[in-house]
Amino acid sequence: MDSGGSVSTWIDRLKAGDPDAAGQLWVRYFRQLVAQARARLGGATSPLADEEDLALSAFDSLCQGVRQGRFPYLYDRGNLWRLLITLVAQKVIGLYRRERRLKRGGAVAPDAAITDPADLLAAEPPPDVLAQMTEECDRLLARLENDTLRAVALLRLEGYTVEEIAVRLGCVPRTVERKLEMIRRLWGAETRA
């Protein structure tokens, strides 16, 4: 494996603040991000942004989040791709929300990223996008070995901290961390397969 050209190496370099690494990742993932944004838009057009704008915004959020240390579990291509897909989905949902706000006569917030999980639930993506997201979530949850792992995954996706999950499940935070790591391994193997 070429140590200068692997995605994992570029991620490490990006975390270290190397702008060339961001460029390498951009070249590698831009077309895929545009395709994801296009699929999530479901053929809809918007006067506010197109799929390339959404891809650019998602990648910018990735770079800012890495600089701010918001993605501690970002370490390989599988983690990166899942994160990029999530960021694109958030950008599409944000776009729908801004357009709805405009239609109601409200002001448009400047490309604000969705940071509250409740905002994701309040948004109304097109039915086909919602169905696709639901199927993927159900498929990944079904890959987990037991109900406890599924409960931990769902609570984490709902935005609960490790400590809050531990309290809800009546265990110590380290147990939750181990279960989250197991979930990451299972889902990571799923995306690499």
Residue-wise pLDDT tens digits, 44-60: 665 556 788 888 888 88
CA 72 from centroid of its chain's CA atoms: 13
At residue 125's C-alpha, the angle toward residues 32 and 40, to 5°, is 15
Give all domains of the chain, ordered by start, each with its CATH number: 7-118 (1.10.1740)
pLDDT digits (tens, 9 = 90+) for 63-73: 888 888 888 78
Give the C-alpha distances (Å, rounded to integers) separating 60 from 87, 100, 102: 10, 24, 24
Between CA 121 and CA 141 the distance in angstroms is: 18
pLDDT digits (tens, 9 = 90+) for 144-191: 888 889 889 888 876 788 898 999 999 999 999 999 999 888 887 765
At residue 121, does pLDDT exceed 80?
no
